[in-house]
Structure 1
């Protein structure tokens, strides 16, 4: 299995996990970061970046999204995932990935707001559930956390996977 396949598999797991659970656990972020560091250490980094570019990508990915977390606009898992993704991609590839992911998240939020404010047909009920994700309640029936609507890490991973397949061809 090549390191590019390992990265792609990690991205797929992140996409599925974030769409289903609307969170990214630390073990998943650490698995991706560890694999990226191992690829760098053994000189088999699939995207041709060096240590400086990888560490800069991790720092920029983590630091930039940390601002959104500080204002309560993003979850901590999204921030940590962006840092691990920066280790794989480097800062130069992270910028088009961010732009693509942000456009997908914007489309998601516009569609969610449209469906949220209107009664919808039964066929759209499943789409509304996909857009809002699971909403957990405690045993008393009160919400346990603020609902997380936008799975931003999933969109980052989806954009990164697309970038790996189509964007890096030159």
Structure 2
């Protein structure tokens, strides 16, 4: 029953991250911190819905933080995206991060292509701008944090149904 409770906590956290990123293109540090605490508590009491231990959570958070930091340094993504990836590593373990990154990147790429199609913006026009990301209303147009939490939430729902929870 505790595992189901923690699964609900993760899904609520992922929903807040996704909605906040889509709506405001901003993810609050308090939300990132709450997700990290939740992941470590789950691991500490051995009730993580993804089956991740506290050691795996620490390793996963480190892998997520270190793995995405170069993208932040190169200004290809925001700091919140890096922190969300680290929290996902804490919840799901490092082994899942590659797949979340691949799925999120494909979804973000399709989203960017869709925005380019809607706005009739060419790749050449984007290259002339000199900025790494499209922007709408002064904010980055692709909510990458939302695309990161989506495959994790889908995977958790799959695990819950596969286990009969």
* Counterpart contact for 1:97–1:163, Cα < 8 Å: no
Is the deviation greater in 13-22 or in 46-55? Answer: 46-55
1:3 matched to 2:36? The reply is: no
Q: Which has the higher helix share?
A: 2
Q: TM-score, normalised by structure 1?
A: 0.79
Instruction: Indicate which of 81, 95, 98 corresponds to 1:95.
Output: 98
| Structure 1, gaps ≥5 residues long | 119-130, 136-145
* Counterpart contact for 2:25–2:143, Cα < 8 Å: yes
**Residue in 1 that maps onto 2:141:** 149
1:78 matched to 2:81? The reply is: yes
Give how far 1:62 is off: 1.3
| Structure 2, gaps ≥5 residues long | 122-133
**Residue in 2 that maps onto 1:35:** 38
Instruction: Indicate which of 159, 163, 166 corresponds to 2:155.
Output: 163
Give how far 1:56 is off: 1.6
1:108 matched to 2:72? The reply is: no
* Counterpart contact for 1:47–1:89, Cα < 8 Å: yes
* Counterpart contact for 2:49–2:156, Cα < 8 Å: no
The alignment covers a number of residue pairs equal to: 147
* Counterpart contact for 2:56–2:93, Cα < 8 Å: yes
Q: 1:110, 1:132 → 2: CA distance?
A: 13
Q: 1:38, 1:167 → 2: CA distance?
A: 20
Q: 1:50, 1:163 → 2: CA distance?
A: 17
Q: TM-score, normalised by structure 2?
A: 0.81
The 4+ residue runs of structure 1 with deviation greater than 3 A are 167-170
